[in-house]
Structure 1
Amino acid sequence: MKRLALSTLLATTLGLALAGCGDKAEKPPAAQPSAAQPSTAQSSAGSAYPKTDDGAKALLEALRTGKDPALVQRLKPTTEDYKAVFVGAAAAKAEQFYTTKLWNGDEIKVAGKPEQTELKVFKATSEEIRAWGPKVSAEFPGGYQQLGAHLKPGLTLYRWKYTEPGDDTGLAFEGLVNVNGHWVWMPKAWQALGS
């Protein structure tokens, strides 16, 4: 008896589901993403700037001009992003540091000066940072040497400078990384973990 009742229920449910799939069924309107949602902003930044060296360079060039002030805010990491970058308790420690020191509502400027039209980009994987070879030590601040042990494997971190043409000095930044399908910025992370 139970088997017959269950079969009847399944047949009725399947029949109703198939009836709703006919040609005359109206499609529900597509959901419109809200610009105010952080995940939407981050995913749009991820698609505009792919997880490639060229994507990183395009993002850094867009930051250099300062034409999109909201672009910096779209680099704000989420809790899941901290967990994707740092090992164990270092993730929560970094999130606490950045929430109070960087992403605290103050204006953040990453733009270069108008005369600083050149972009110089350096990169290293988390494994290269952990090994701390000559190339990495020449291109990254010394604080990264302590940071290496706290980074998850498989990451590529970027350091960059905005300089005047032909000059090697300028405004220097670091800590750009792509995780969870979008770019995030965590500068001077060794300070976050040392606090």
Structure 2
Amino acid sequence: MSDERHQQRMQRKKAVVDERIRQATQTRGVLILLKGNGKGKSSSALGTLARSLGHGQRGAVVQFIKGRFETGEYLFFRDHPRLEWHIMGQGFTWETQDRTRDVEAAQAAWVTAKGLLENPSLDIVVLDEMSYMFKYDYLDVAPVVEALKNRPAHQNVIITGRTIATPLQEIADTISVVQDERHAFRAGVKAQKGIEY
């Protein structure tokens, strides 16, 4: 491609992008859902959290499943002065094998999360692996939808998990799907610090 043709192409592209930017006039928090069977949903959420903290904002994380051991991200973020981190889970459901305890943990995590969604001093809230709470009927989705609709107008929320309840998808601003094409674990590679946890 010649330089002249490339320049014309980029000018057309710039005009399209500039018009989209011009039309984006709202200033408000967004609900982001990160779903799919691929690796990296929580990592993506926490990367966005790091970006927010880098801009001087305040945030909070509620982990609905992780909790049996300290993850690398918790070890990295735990002392951050503008971040609350709540490890509420008991581990993966196939490990606990105790529905009553799992439901109690989910409900306690929701009480914490609901308080965060009512807190106007928080700019971003990450509800990590919350989607499983609806899949396994540990929580009712309706109060969560209501709390999300009534949160402070500027507050951004990210919810992660393989499957996301339809009522959450209906109110989401951004939905990204992380697909699984290949995973080292299926090839016999052990989960390792810094990659899986």
Q: State which structure, 1 or 2, has the greater radius of gyration over its C-alpha atoms.
A: 1
Higher relative contact order (CA 8 A, sep 6+): 2
TM-score, normalised by the number of residues in structure 2? 0.24
TM-score, normalised by the number of residues in structure 1? 0.24
